[in-house]
């Protein structure tokens, strides 16, 4: 008779444990595009990725559409090669552009995708050709100071140019 | 004169040798538990009974402590984060600190002082009152019948309790952050979901607590089994369980964190 | 006693903890079906003797033969088989405090047999009836008096109808009535079950009433032996001291101190001045 009460309690205990883990995985962590089946890879090359980290979000119009899967240095051309893992539901055209953005002034960095006009979509494993690098604050200030010192033709070069890291 | 100078040195050597000797004995004891574990699973009601004592009876203390720890995290986190204008990240802060560190570590410390000490006292008293001897003379192995079910009950209970601690802690943080301070509920949860990773944070935290469960329960049953069979012996064994468990939990936490994150 | 019918036999057995010898060259025989008492003061090594039979300790020299098998060299499986035919009553009963009386007595039955619960319940009732405690099944050990706990422990020890019974100080801490009850039960059960039994005790008078043979142990050796009648008539100083409870005798009252009392009190120097 006593044993059944204990069994009941232990049953409740185990159920609470399962519920807690489920809560942690569904509500606290994001169990969304993690599995390989629901996502596809794309890659993009950047001159400078700034403070971008693996698992940083990939957003389009502010919506998270995937995550950064890996970051490595291409030792042939010395460019950062970033692999993105995107949700299968979201397809992008071949002339999509990728840029590294910062959320807020000092927030984390993420990749923003801007859809282009090409009717064909990027296939898994293809490269996003149009990229713009991270804004590196020091370089930005350096350029501004330079322009300020020269004073003359103020419209020399826009600081957000794609090959600003030379 | 020389005698008084060398005495502390000799004492230190004695303590060290004793510690190493106990470590060896504890390892052999763990091997014996694993070898004798068949019965714990074949006669599941033995283990279930111990899960009741080790796990179910710890629910209250885990829930209450988890809630308060989460609420404190909410308050302190809000104070610090709002200085940098990022109070929105409170959900992430609360969840990450709990999942990665505070949940497993605090739950294990509470478990050691609530259930670990009880296990030591129980086994120590069984030894002092010759119950373990009586069992082995009846051709029943006390490690299989008494120690192994308790060991497995502890190993099973610990991750469950840690997960529960995390959940109640997050609700504590939610209560303070959203209900009291008035942060946006949606931001709280979405910031949390954006920064918490299932594998890195949730699963690794639970793996930590599994290791803590093994360590704490092993220490508890070992200290009980190794206790000097007197009232004073059992009480000092109980104290040792709590102290050793706390040290081992914190040291192990450092090692595991270094490996995992 | 006859030489050939010994069921338990010690041959030149020595045992010590670390380097402190406890038993030295013990020889003794316990015949089949007899109740034998081992008597001696506290710390004389008599409980160690019992543990050598149960296999909790292994003799360092000599042989402890039980039914022709040496306990000192048994492997785990042989020891298991040996213990299944043995029952032991511990000093204070050693009942499992987290189990009820019923579960305590049922413990060896559940561990070693596959009997259905209904049959176990019947057996438990019978064993408890044998010790006069039928109806206490639902009680917990904490609710029992010392004498009742000892009787429940006895019922548990005989649950599997052992061939060997070991009693470790069965009379310690009991009131005279409970003591008489336990002594009677030990005698009755031994006669009824035909077990060979060893009883370690320092209660002389009650033991002499029920046992068949007595060994006296002092300082790790056997100093005297005989039937109860021989013991009562014995003129051995050991036996005399023990039976009559004299404070000083062959077993010294004083701890063998290294220095004289005068030295300890710092008087020896004074005398010389």
CA C4 to chain centre: 24
Strand A79-87 to strand A39-46: parallel, antiparallel, or no bridges (unpaired)? antiparallel
Average pLDDT for B177-197:
87
Determine contact, residues B95/B177, Cβ cutoff 8 Å. no
Q: Greater confidence, C239 or C165?
A: C165
Give residue B190's pLDDT band: very low, low, confident or very high (50, 70, 90).
Answer: confident
The per-residue pLDDT for range B32-74, each reduced to its tens digit, is: 999 988 888 888 888 999 999 999 999 999 999 999 999 999 9
- Other CB atoms within 10 A of residue B28 CB: 10
Average pLDDT for B209-225:
95
Q: Which helix (H) or strand (E) holds C28?
A: strand C20-31
For chain C, the chains sharing at least 3 beta-carbon pairs closer than 8 angstroms are B
What does the DSSP assignment read for B177-224? IIIII---HHHHHHHHHHH--IIIIIIHHHHHHHHHHHHHHHHHHHHH
A41/A32 Cα distance (integer angstroms): 16
What is the overall mean pLDDT for chain B? Answer: 91
B110/A113 Cα distance (integer angstroms): 48
What is the overall mean pLDDT for chain C? Answer: 84
A28/B195 Cα distance (integer angstroms): 9
% of chain C beyond a pLDDT of 90: 14
Give me the CATH code for the C6-234 domain, please.
3.40.50.300
Q: Which residue of C has its CA nearest to B49?
A: C98
- Which residues lie closer than 8 Å to C122 by C-beta, 6 or more apart? none
For residue B159, list chain A residues with Cβ-Cβ distance below 8 A.
Answer: 17
Instruction: Tell me what pLDDT residue C269 has.
Output: 59
Average pLDDT for A26-52:
76
The per-residue pLDDT for range A114-156, each reduced to its tens digit, is: 988 888 888 888 888 888 887 777 777 888 888 888 776 555 5
Instruction: Tell me what pLDDT residue B46 has.
Output: 87
Instruction: Tell me what pLDDT residue C140 has.
Output: 92
Q: What is the ipTM of this complex?
A: 0.81
Least confident of A6-15, B125-134, B182-191, C238-247: C238-247
| Inter-chain residue contact C92 with B137, CB threshold 8 Å | no
Residue B72's nearest CA partner among B175, B173, B180, B191 is: B173
Instruction: Tell me what pLDDT residue C1 has.
Output: 43
| Inter-chain residue contact A13 with B56, CB threshold 8 Å | yes
Q: H-type helices in B1-116, by residue range? A: 2-35, 38-42, 44-54, 59-83, 90-97, 103-111
Residue extents of the structural domains in chain C: 6-234
A57/A55 Cα distance (integer angstroms): 6
Give residue B1's pLDDT band: very low, low, confident or very high (50, 70, 90).
Answer: low
CA B68 to chain centre: 18
For chain B, the chains sharing at least 3 beta-carbon pairs closer than 8 angstroms are A, C
Residue B259 DSSP code = H
% of chain A beyond a pLDDT of 70: 81
Give the count of alpha carbons within 13 A of A105, CB side only.
3
* Contact status of C88 with chain B (Cβ, < 8 Å): yes
Instruction: Tell me what pLDDT residue B153 has.
Output: 95
Please report, for chain C, how many H helices and E strands are present, in that order: 11, 10
Q: Which residue of B has its CA nearest to C108?
A: B138
Residue A94 DSSP code = T
Backbone angles phi, psi at B177, to 5 degrees: -65, -50
Give residue A32's pLDDT band: very low, low, confident or very high (50, 70, 90).
Answer: low
What does the DSSP assignment read for A24-85? IIIIIS--STTSSTTEEEEEEEES--TT--TT-EEEETTEEEEEEEEEEEETTTTEEEEEEE
Predicted TM-score (pTM) of the model is 0.79
Residue A164 has pLDDT above 50, yes or no: no
What is the overall mean pLDDT for chain A? Answer: 80
How far is the first Cα of chain B from the last one, in angstroms, to the nearest whole number? Answer: 53
Instruction: Tell me what pLDDT residue C26 has.
Output: 85
Instruction: Tell me what pLDDT residue A155 has.
Output: 52
Residue extents of the structural domains in chain A: 1-31, 39-138
Instruction: Tell me what pLDDT residue A37 has.
Output: 63
Q: Greater confidence, C6 or C155?
A: C155
Instruction: Tell me what pLDDT residue B240 has.
Output: 94
Q: H-type helices in chain C, by residue range? A: 46-54, 76-84, 101-112, 117-130, 146-157, 176-193, 204-210, 228-233, 237-244, 261-264, 268-272
Burial of C21 per CB tally in 10 Å (0-12, 13-18, 19+) = middle
The per-residue pLDDT for range C1-25, each reduced to its tens digit, is: 444 577 888 888 888 887 778 888 8
C153/B130 Cα distance (integer angstroms): 12
* In a domain? residue B98: yes
Q: Which of A28, A69, A105 to mutate to test the interface with B (most CBs of B within 10 A)?
A: A28
Residue C1's nearest CA partner among C39, C32, C45, C41 is: C32
Give residue A16's pLDDT band: very low, low, confident or very high (50, 70, 90).
Answer: very high
Least confident of A25-39, B45-59, C187-201: A25-39
Residues of B with CB under 8 A from a CB of A: 45, 48-49, 51-52, 55-56, 59, 84, 86, 95, 99, 157, 159-160, 163-164, 166-167, 170, 189, 192-194, 196-199, 201-202, 206
Residue A40's nearest CA partner among A18, A65, A75 is: A65
The total of structural domains in chain B comes to: 1
Give the count of alpha carbons within 13 A of C25, CB side only.
1
């Amino acid at each position: 008779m006593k044993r059944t009460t204990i069994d009941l309690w232990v049953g409740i205990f185990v159920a609470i444990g399962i519920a807690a883990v489920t809560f942690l995985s569904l509500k606290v962590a994001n169990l969304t595009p993690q599995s390989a089946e629901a996502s596809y890879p794309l890659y993009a090359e950047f001159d400078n990725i700034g403070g971008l980290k693996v698992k940083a979000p990939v957003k389009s119009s502010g919506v998270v559409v995937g995550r950064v899967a890996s970051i490595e240095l291409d030792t042939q051309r010395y460019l950062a090669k970033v692999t993105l893992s995107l949700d299968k539901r979201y397809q992008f055209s071949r002339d999509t552009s990728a840029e590294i953005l910062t959320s807020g002034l000092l927030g984390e960095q993420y990749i923003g995708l801007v859809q282009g006009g090409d009717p064909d979509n990027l296939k898994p494993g293809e490269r996003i050709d149009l990229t713009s690098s991270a804004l590196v604050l020091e370089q930005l200030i350096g350029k501004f100071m330079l322009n300020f010192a020269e004073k003359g033709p103020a419209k020399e070069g826009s600081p957000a140019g794609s090959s600003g890291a030379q | 004169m020389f005698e008084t100078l060398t005495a502390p040195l000799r004492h230190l050597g004695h303590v060290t040798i004793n510690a190493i000797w106990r470590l060896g004995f504890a390892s052999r004891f763990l091997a014996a538990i694993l070898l004798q574990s068949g019965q714990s699973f074949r006669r599941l009601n033995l283990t279930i009974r111990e899960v009741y004592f080790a796990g179910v009876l710890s629910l209250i203390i885990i829930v209450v402590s988890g809630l308060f720890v989460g609420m404190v995290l909410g308050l302190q986190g809000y104070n610090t984060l709002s200085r940098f204008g990022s109070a929105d990240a409170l959900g992430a802060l609360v969840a990450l600190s709990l999942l990665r560190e505070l949940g497993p570590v605090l739950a294990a410390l509470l478990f050691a002082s609530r259930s670990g000490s009880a296990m030591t006292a129980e086994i120590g008293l069984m030894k002092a009152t010759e119950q373990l001897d009586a069992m082995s003379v009846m051709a029943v192995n006390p490690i299989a019948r008494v120690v192994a079910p308790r060991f497995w009950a502890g190993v099973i209970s610990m991750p469950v309790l840690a997960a529960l601690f995390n959940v109640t802690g997050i609700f504590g943080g939610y209560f303070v952050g959203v209900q009291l301070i008035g942060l946006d509920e949606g931001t709280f949860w979405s910031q949390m979901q954006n920064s918490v990773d299932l594998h890195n944070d949730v699963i690794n935290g639970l793996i930590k607590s599994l290791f803590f469960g093994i360590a704490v329960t092993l220490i508890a049953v070992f200290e009980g089994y190794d206790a000097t069979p007197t009232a004073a012996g059992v009480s000092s064994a109980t104290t040792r369980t709590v102290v050793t468990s706390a040290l081992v939990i914190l040291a192990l936490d450092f090692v595991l964190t270094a490996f995992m994150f | 006693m006859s030489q050939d019918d010994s069921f338990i036999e010690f041959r030149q057995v020595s045992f010590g903890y670390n380097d402190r010898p406890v038993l030295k060259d013990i020889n003794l025989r316990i015949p089949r079906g007899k109740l034998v008492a081992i008597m001696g003061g506290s710390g004389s090594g008599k409980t160690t003797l019992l543990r050598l039979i149960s296999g909790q300790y292994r003799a360092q020299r000599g042989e402890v033969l039980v039914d022709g098998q040496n306990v000192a060299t048994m492997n785990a499986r042989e020891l298991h088989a040996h213990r299944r035919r043995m029952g032991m009553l511990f000093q204070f009963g050693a009942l499992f405090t987290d189990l009820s009386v019923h579960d305590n007595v049922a413990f060896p039955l559940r561990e070693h047999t596959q009997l259905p619960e209904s049959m176990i319940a019947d057996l438990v009732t019978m064993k408890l009836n044998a010790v006069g405690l039928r109806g206490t099944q639902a009680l917990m050990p904490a609710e029992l008096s010392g004498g009742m706990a000892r009787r429940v422990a006895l019922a548990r020890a005989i649950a599997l109808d052992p061939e060997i019974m070991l009693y470790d100080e069965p009379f310690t801490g009991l009131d005279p009535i409970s003591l008489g009850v336990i002594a009677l039960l030990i005698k009755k059960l031994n006669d009824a079950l035909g077990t060979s039994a060893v009883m370690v005790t320092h209660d002389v008078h009650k033991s002499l009433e029920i046992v068949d043979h007595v060994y006296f142990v002092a300082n790790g050796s056997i100093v005297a032996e005989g039937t109860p009648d021989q013991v009562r008539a014995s003129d051995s100083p050991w036996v005399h001291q023990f039976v009559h409870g004299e404070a000083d005798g062959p077993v010294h009252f004083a701890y063998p101190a290294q220095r004289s009392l005068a030295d300890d009190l710092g008087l020896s120097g004074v005398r010389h001045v």
